[in-house]
Each structure stands twice: as structure tokens, then as C-alpha cells.
Structure 1
Amino acid sequence: MTKRSLPPLTALRAFEAFARLGRMTTAADELCVTHGAVSRQIRSLELSVGLPLTEGPRHRLKLTDAGERLAASLSGAFDRVERTLADLRSADAAELHLSCLGTFAMRWLIPRLGTFHDQHPGLRVRVTESFAPADFARERYDAAIRLTEHVPAHGGEAIAFLDNFHGPVAAPQLVNGRPGVKAFAGLPRLHTRPHLQAWAEWERHTGLSLPEAPQNREFEHLFYMLEAAVAGLGVGLSPFVYVAADIEAGRLAAPVGFVRTPAQFYLILPPGPAKPAAAAFRDWLLDEAGSVPVPS
């Protein structure tokens, strides 16, 4: 690409402010510099372009013809930049970039987002998947949803909006209506690679002990494992909010119900005032979560 041959932006800004406002002192006030600094920038600009841009006595300077032409070009360019920035800020204010657990987004959040859009038709929600701890300094998003036992220490706002309950689930034909651990103890056990300790945690939370599984099957993601459970490949372990709709629809059965865990679902906001879209989403999310039933 051809390198631009332009004078320093500081000099162009000083000259444009003087040309628009008509006085060095007024231009200096706008730019938060001294009268002398504006004068020096204009002089350096004249030297850079090789043309006189101002003329007349020091305290009654006016623009030359070349100065008038340059001032008109600069003012038009700066106006366009200012309008573009205003448009970008307006568009950004209307969008929420949400970093979210993938399975939570698929199975709980997205099916409910229609009510948010109905209430806030001018706002947009962009969801990206992440399981890593929320880090607003490293990644650019406006809010995050995470499942954790500990309030994230990041200097912003962390709101626990849903308790977490987990329990074993399997295709109804596998457990055949039988209640209790015996309904699934002899089935292949399904796991997710990122959370292989899930079954041990469930045993600790319930005080129950399971016999060794006849077979263990691992999956890369929780939503893969849940589809495997629906397909009858074994018994999996899931948070209640991920499978509530499947249980109601008869796609999955929960033979021993669900037990509460120490972890909670958190909405995490960065430090500082929440942007309008994030504030609206926070209020909607709390209302929506308040209507979620607790598993029996």
C-alpha cells in the first residue's frame, strides 16, 4: 500500500479548530492546550505544506485562500469521522456480546431469548461459547455466564441467578420406569472429558455409592453426552436446567431426581457502569431465572 503523505494530525487538528472558531485562544480552550501551542502547530503545518495558511496581524489572523480550502476539507473530513464514531458507539450500545457456556446457551438461554427480544426490540444479543474463567482484560465481551462454586474475583459485578441441581439421566426405555440407583447401576456410564470427576462429585453430594460401571463412554462436550443419553447409549449426569425440557417431553428420565450442588450459575459483568444492553439483559435474566422451577 502507498504510504500517506500527510502532516501530523496534531497540527491539522489545531489548524481546523482555529479556522472553525476564528480565534487562537478559543481553539486552545477546545483542545486543552495553550494559545502558544496552537500557534506553533499552525506554523509547523505551514512549513510542512510549504504554503501560507494564515495572514494578517498576529492578533487578527485570517485564512488565506489556501487556508480556506484546507479548512473546508478538514472540517468535512472531521465531521465524517465524528458521525461515524457516533454511529459505531450507538450500534455498540445496542449490542450485548455475551460469553456463555455452550450447553447453557443451547439448552436454556437461546430457547428463552425470544422474550428478551420482544421486550427490547432495539437490542441485539451475540452469544459466543467459552468455558474459561471470565477475563474482560484479555477478551472483549460485555458479560459472561459461568457455572462456578466461587464468586469470581475480577472487580466487576457477579450475580448468582440460578442454583445448580444435577442428577443421572437416561433414555426412558433403559430405566423402564424403575426408581432408584438400581435402575441405572448396570448401564454404561457416560462422561465428558472436561469434567471426568462429575460422577464422583455426584456421589459426594448425595452420599450414595455406585458400583463399578460395566462400561465407560467419554464425549468431548456435555451436549454430545446428553444426545448419547437420549439415544440410549448409557446413563449420563447433567445439570437439571439442561435436561428439564427433555424430561418433560419424555426424551429422558431421571430415576433418582436431582441434588443441589455448591456451584451456581453467575452472570458476570465487567468493572464500571453496565452498558444499556447489558443492564437490560441482567434485569431480564433475573426475571426469567426467577420463574424456573426447582426440581422435586
Structure 2
Amino acid sequence: MHNALPSLPAIRAFEAAARLLSFTKAGSELGMTQAAVSYQIKLLEEKLGFPLFHRNARRIELTDKGKQLSLKVIDAFEALREAFYDVRNENDTLLVVSSNTTFALNWLATRLVHFQLANPDIAIRIVPYGPAARPEFLNSDVSISACYAPPKGWCHHRLVDATFTPMLSPELAETIGGVHSAEDILRLPLIDPGDPWWKIWFDKAGIKDVDLSNRPATRMGSQALEANRAIAGQGAGILTPYFCKHALENGLLVQPIDILASIDDEAWYLSYPPANKKSRKVRLFRDWILTELQKDGVLAEQAQKYNA
């Protein structure tokens, strides 16, 4: 091919020798011998058809054509160095987290400032997703998933078990004189009655084979959004108490019945590919989340050391 480039080793040797004006120094920088640098430049000169250096007894000098070529080649290599530095620097300081919407809104949004204060050199980009979308497993550094298991072979930590129970606003409870039993829940409008958690909970509460098929169907796609509807008095939601902690403490929601249901294999997971195992930003973020959940007493995986 007429416009084919000379070999990259030859171009690299020329760039270093032209910049340093020394075959010996170029070899030291490139991990080559002085003779190897001289040989690569000789090959380049033969391909170009003209000399690039004047070889004197104690030093080398660029020829006129060597000077002309060196200006562009040195600039090109400097641009390459900057490009790789920028990518490497961004990779070291930008953490992309694909997160289940509930965890993103009800947990990360209220606590992330503490991680950032402790690690000001790390920028965080949260990519939330709901049940209608898949977590960005392959386009993020860390994933926090609820509806999808981590990819096979990935490092993963079980964060919070998916426990659930009905919750509603105090005002809605008062419309029927208070909620005292599971039967009372059925007297109220239900948020997302098609959620399988409802039947599992009613079954545990002693109401078998409950039929919710005739209820108005709504699908918010996120506990965070369903909790907001419950706070607004639009119905009872089947929610995880831990993610509604502040609403419960502030009296915006009530959990009228102590019965909690769960599904063994359902939980929120933090996961990342094995290639990120030694990443500083991933380790800091992982350890911070696990420590915070341990403090709250809800960490599903009670590991003493986070060695995954």
C-alpha cells in the first residue's frame, strides 16, 4: 500500500532519538540497546530513501528532512501521551455506578455526600434503572442490582435482603378507622396490586389465595416512586421498611402490621467484574457501602473482610 506507515518500532525509535538527540538515551527510555535504536532508524531511513541524522563521532544531529519529520512525529507522540493520560486519569477518578432506582433515590441520594467528602478526588456518576431496564453491568464500574442477579463470575456482595410489608399514610389509615389486621389492608386501594409481593405477604398473614386481579392496575416500577404515592395517600404500598426509614420516623408512613415477608433469593447486590477487583475507587466505594449497611444493622452479608 503506497501510504502505509513505516513500522511502529522504527517510528518510536526515531521520535525518542530526535527528541533526546541521543541513540543511547533513546534506548534507555525505550528499554532497548543503543544498537537496536540505531538499527531501527537505519530501517526507517532505508524505507524513506534519505538520512534522518548526521552521525558524528560523539553526537548526532538531525538532517533538514529529519528536523521537518521530527516536528510532526514528536507532536503526534505527545498528543498520544496526553490522550492516554486523560483516559487513565478519568478512569482513576470517575466512578460510574449503575443502580436500582430505589437504592439510588432512597439510599445513595441521602448519603453519597459523605463518601465524596471522604474521597474528594473521586467523581461519582449514578445511572439509575427500573424494572423495565437492565442494569448497566458492562458500562459501569460497579452495579447495584435488585431484579437481576450479578453476572456469573463477577465479584458480588449481598447488601440488603428484600423484606416487605404494607405501608400507608396515617391519613389513609384513618379513613377506615385504623388498620389492625391483614383484612383491613384489603379494604384500601393498593398500589401496584399486580406485584407478586402482595400475594406472598397476604399468604404469610394467613389470607390464602387472595385475588387482586380486579384491582385497578398501576405500575410505578420502583419502590421509591410507590412510597411517594403511599405518602400522598393514594393507597397502601408493599415496601421494604429499610428504604422507607425516614418516612416512617417522620410519620409520613406507618407500618400497621408487624408481619414481614421475604423471598430467599431476592436481595440488593453490589457487583463488579473481576478486572475491577484491585481498582482503588471500586474498593473505596464498596467498603464504604458495606460499612454503612453494617452500622445500620441490615447488611445481609455479614463478612468480616471484604475480600471479593
TM-score, length-normalised on structure 1?
0.79
Q: Which residue of the partner structure matches residue 30 of structure 1?
A: 30
Q: Which residue of the partner structure matches residue 215 of structure 2?
A: 215
TM-score, length-normalised on structure 2?
0.76
Q: 1:112 to 1:119 in 2, by over 3 A?
A: same
Q: Which residue of the partner structure matches residue 289 of structure 1?
A: 293
**SS at 1:163's partner residue?**
strand
Match of 1:259 among 236, 261, 271: 261
Deviates more, 1:83-92 or 1:266-275: 83-92
Check whether the contact 1:171–1:232 (CA below 8 A) recurs between aligned residues: yes
Count of aligned pairs:
281
Q: 1:25 to 1:290 in 2, by over 3 A?
A: closer
| Cα displacement string for residues 3-36 of structure 1 (whole angstroms, at most 9, x for unaligned residues) | xx99558253342134346339965993889665
**SS at 1:291's partner residue?**
helix
**SS at 2:179's partner residue?**
coil
In structure 2, the gaps of 5 or more residues are: 299-308
Give, in angstroms, the shift of residue 173 of structure 1. 1.7
Q: 1:159 to 1:24 in 2, by over 3 A?
A: same
- The one-letter code sitting in structure 2 at the alignment partner of 1:171 is S
Q: Which residue of the partner structure matches residue 79 of structure 1?
A: 78
- The one-letter code sitting in structure 1 at the alignment partner of 2:233 is G
Match of 1:157 among 152, 155, 162: 155
Q: Which residue of the partner structure matches residue 271 of structure 1?
A: 274
Q: Which residue of the partner structure matches residue 240 of structure 1?
A: 241
Deviates more, 1:223-232 or 1:275-284: 223-232
Match of 1:171 among 163, 166, 169: 169
Deviates more, 1:117-126 or 1:20-29: 20-29
Q: Which residue of the partner structure matches residue 229 of structure 2?
A: 228
Give, in angstroms, the shift of residue 247 of structure 1. 1.4
Between the aligned partners of 1:144 and 1:187, the Cα distance in structure 2 is 36
Give, in angstroms, the shift of residue 119 of structure 1. 1.4
Give, in angstroms, the shift of residue 89 of structure 1. 1.6
- The one-letter code sitting in structure 2 at the alignment partner of 1:53 is L
Between the aligned partners of 2:4 and 2:292, the Cα distance in structure 1 is 55
Check whether the contact 2:230–2:236 (CA below 8 A) recurs between aligned residues: yes
Between the aligned partners of 1:128 and 1:72, the Cα distance in structure 2 is 43
Q: 1:29 to 1:287 in 2, by over 3 A?
A: closer
Deviates more, 1:106-115 or 1:155-164: 155-164
Query: Are 2:125 and 1:126 aligned?
Result: yes
Q: 1:156 to 1:212 in 2, by over 3 A?
A: closer
Between the aligned partners of 2:193 and 2:229, the Cα distance in structure 1 is 11
Give, in angstroms, the shift of residue 232 of structure 1. 1.8
Q: Which residue of the partner structure matches residue 249 of structure 1?
A: 250
**SS at 1:158's partner residue?**
strand
Give, in angstroms, the shift of residue 269 of structure 1. 1.2
Q: How does 1:44-83 map to 2 (within 5 A)?
A: 44=47, 46-47=48-49, 52-55=51-54, 63-83=62-82
Q: How does 1:94-113 map to 2 (within 5 A)?
A: 94-113=93-112
Q: 1:66 to 1:192 in 2, by over 3 A?
A: farther
Deviates more, 1:88-97 or 1:13-22: 13-22
Q: 1:249 to 1:6 in 2, by over 3 A?
A: farther
- The one-letter code sitting in structure 2 at the alignment partner of 1:278 is V
Q: Which residue of the partner structure matches residue 284 of structure 2?
A: 280
Q: 1:237 to 1:217 in 2, by over 3 A?
A: same
Between the aligned partners of 2:102 and 2:225, the Cα distance in structure 1 is 9
Identical-residue share of aligned pairs (%): 25
Q: 1:247 to 1:156 in 2, by over 3 A?
A: same
Give, in angstroms, the shift of residue 95 of structure 1. 1.6
Check whether the contact 1:171–1:252 (CA below 8 A) recurs between aligned residues: yes
Deviates more, 1:252-261 or 1:117-126: 252-261
